[in-house]
Structure formats: C-alpha cells, structure tokens
Amino acid sequence: MNKRVYGILGIASRMSNWNADFTGYPKTTSSGDVFGSDKAFKYPMKKMWEQQGEKVLYIKSVKLQENKKGEVELIPRALKERYEYIFNEEDLKKNKDSKVVLTNLFSAIDVKNFGATFAEEGNNISITGAVQIGQGFNKYEETNAEEQQILSPFRDASKKEGNKKDEDKEEAKSSTLGTKIVSNEAHYFYPFVINPLAYDQFKELEVTEGYTEEDYKKFKEASMVAATSFSTNAKIGCENEFALFVETESDLYLPDLSQYVDFEKDEEKNVITLKCDDLLNRLKDRIKNIEIYYNPYTTTVECNIENAKKMNIFTKEEV
C-alpha cells in the first residue's frame, strides 16, 4: 500500500459502559474527562475477526486442565499456548526458526494490524503495528455515570444462618444485590493512523508482503461495525456512529485529527462538527481520498472539506 491513512473513529454509548476502570465506572483522566482506551476499541474488532475465521493471536481463550489435586480447571491459555493452538505448533520451545515464527505472527490479522510484543523463550520479537489507535475522548459534556442496583435470584451461600443476630439471619436468607454502572450517554472519538512503511524491514526478511490494500480493507470494514456487533451486557448500547478516513501520500504527516471534533445535540439530531477544514483543504493536492461515514438517522455532520464523500455508516451508500 503506497499511502498513509489518517482518521477518526466514533463510538456512541447510551445507557451502557464502553470502557470501565477497575471500580466499574467509565474510565476518566485525573481531571475527570471520560475516555476509552485503544484496547477497548481493538477488542470488538478482534472478536469480529475471530468469528469470521481469521487467525487472532492476542485474545483471551481458555482450556480445561487437570491440576496437581486431580481436579479439572478452566483456565486462560498463556501466550505460548495460544500461539501453539492457532498455528498447530506442538511445542514452541522446540522451534528455533525465527523466520517461521515471524511468518506465522504476520499471518495473524491482529498482529498484521496492531503489531506484537512476543517475548517467549528463544523468540523475543517486537513488531510495531502499521495501525496505531489513540485514546478516545468523550466529547459530550452532559455525560454522567448511572449506578443501578440489581437483585440476584440467589442468596449468598457463604453467609450461614447460625448467626446470633436476627438481622444476620434475615440477610443470610435474602437474595444478593449487584451493581451495574453505565453512562447515560457518551460519544467517544478515537484518532488513528496507518503507516504501511512500518513493515519495510520485515519485507526485506521475506516474512511478510507488507501492509496491503486488502489489510486496509479488512481494518476499515471492522472499524465501522465491530462495536455495533459486539453486544455484551455492558456494550449493548454501544455502536459505531462515525468514521473519517483521509488517504494521503506516503510522506504526508498529519496531526491527531480527533482534536478537531466538536459534539453537541440540537432539538432533533446530534451534531458532529469537524474543524479541520482549513488544514485538509490546504493539503488537497497531496490527499488522495476523503470519506466520512456517519449515522444520518441520528446525526448531522458539519464541515466544509473539499471533495469529501459523506456515506451512511450502515449501508455504505452516499448520503
């Protein structure tokens, strides 16, 4: 691929929790700004690719294993075990051919896009990904966290009824309470950049053909639908709502475009305003293509970017 790609990927979250911290609340910076990590965006993409039959290395998988007591446990696979599982390798320690290992790594779609740190015995490999996704900051000022109490259908069996106090006895007989924490509404905007030149040294080693148009196509497709398709209990209200792809010459360097995004709500629809018009218009002779995808049923996009195509993010038809 002989071009760079810069852009923005937008996620809407309504009464859901796109990316929680260890307390269960939506992630925030020290100044209170709500954001989502790049890992939160990549995970639904990896799950989608895995379901499509692609090889995905860096994703949790489990196995049944007998412990020293003879009990069978369900445990996560280690990185070495995951590699052996998807590449049908009997024992990675016995494989002393780093070229084979590198070739296998580049055949995994997540490694081909996002890179890898593969620190296993005899194979200490670091690959800087051609695709880099930044932190996605929420641009909606009225975002609030909502805490919901959930009643479990089961009592806590660890609490015995033999306690002396009556209230303890009643508590032991009662169903347990759980908590679900969501955002009332949030709108995250992630910056990303694709640099196909990142794999030039590996092309010279003949372990990969480099980052190709086909790789870009797969990334582009998944980046616009993976969040919508990933319907866990916490993510059921999350969906892809916006995407900007700016394809440029391979030696053109642009800043983080998500800093030029404003989000607000009017009486009927959400309004996403792109304030990078002047920057992109001044560089139009070095820009090959600009596409803007959004949800036209809930959102309008305001911008004056020359030659930009506006598309329906669901149907991919021009708006």
SS3 138: strand
Average pLDDT value for residue range 215-234: 89
pLDDT in tens, 106-159: 999 999 999 999 988 778 899 999 999 999 999 999 999 998 888 877 777 766
Predicted confidence band of residue 69 (pLDDT cuts 50, 70, 90) = confident
| Ramachandran sector of residue 53 (left: φ over 0; alpha: ψ -120 to 50; beta: rest) | left
Confidence of residue 178 (pLDDT cuts 50, 70, 90): confident
- Give the per-residue pLDDT at 292: 98
**Euclidean distance between CA atoms 169 and 177, whole angstroms:** 16
Report d(CA 11, CA 296) in Å as an integer: 14
Q: Cα dist. 268→50, 60, 65, 294, 300 in Å?
A: 38, 41, 55, 16, 10
At 216, phi and psi to the nearest 5? -60, -40
Residue 32 predicted with pLDDT over 80: yes
The mean pLDDT of the chain is 91
Task: List pLDDT tens digits, range 148-167.
Answer: 888 877 777 766 655 555 55
Can you say how many angstroms the Cα of residue 227 is from the centroid of all Cα atoms in its chain? 8
- What sign does the CA torsion over 114, 115, 117, 122 have? positive
Measured between alpha carbons, how far is 12 from 86 in angstroms, rounded to an integer? 33
The pLDDT assigned to 28 comes to 96
pLDDT tops 60 at residue 171:
no
Give this prediction's pTM. Answer: 0.90
Among residues 47, 190, 59, 207, the alpha carbon closest in space to that of 127 is found at 207
DSSP SS3 for 176: strand
CB 55 within 8 A of CB 108: yes
Cα dist from 148 to 73, 120, 145, 184, 185, whole Å: 33, 43, 10, 11, 15
CA 68 to chain centre: 37
* pLDDT one-digit tens code per residue, 268-317: 999 999 999 999 999 999 999 999 999 999 999 999 999 999 999 999 99
On whether the CB atoms of residues 282 and 225 are closer than 8 A, the answer is no
With a cut of 70, say whether residue 71 has pLDDT above it.
yes
- pLDDT value for 121: 76
CA distances from 194 to 102, 124, 212 (A): 21, 25, 11
Residue 168's pLDDT band (cuts 50, 70, 90): low
Burial of 274 (0-12, 13-18, 19+ CB in 10 A): buried
Q: How confident is the model at residue 170 (pLDDT cuts 50, 70, 90)?
A: low
Spatial distance between the Cα atoms of 11 and 224, rounded to a whole number of angstroms: 9
Q: Which DSSP string do the residues of 210-222 spell out, in sequence order?
A: -S-HHHHHHHHHH
Question: What 8-state DSSP symbol labels residue 286?
Answer: G
Q: What torsion do the CA atoms of 283, 211, 119, 207 make, to the nearest 10 degrees?
A: -140
Q: Averaged over 207-211, what is the pLDDT?
A: 96
Choice between 96 and 11, residue whose per-residue pLDDT is larger: 11
Q: Kindly report the number of other CB atoms within 10 A of residue 108's CB atom.
A: 23
Question: Average pLDDT, stretch 246-264?
Answer: 97
In the prediction, which pLDDT does 44 show?
A: 95
Token reading at 36: 């989502």
Neighbours of 186 (CB within 10 A): 30
Sequence-distant (6+) residues with CB within 8 A of 161 are: 169, 172, 173
| Confidence at residue 174, expressed as pLDDT on a 0 to 100 scale | 57
Q: What's the chain's length in residues?
A: 319
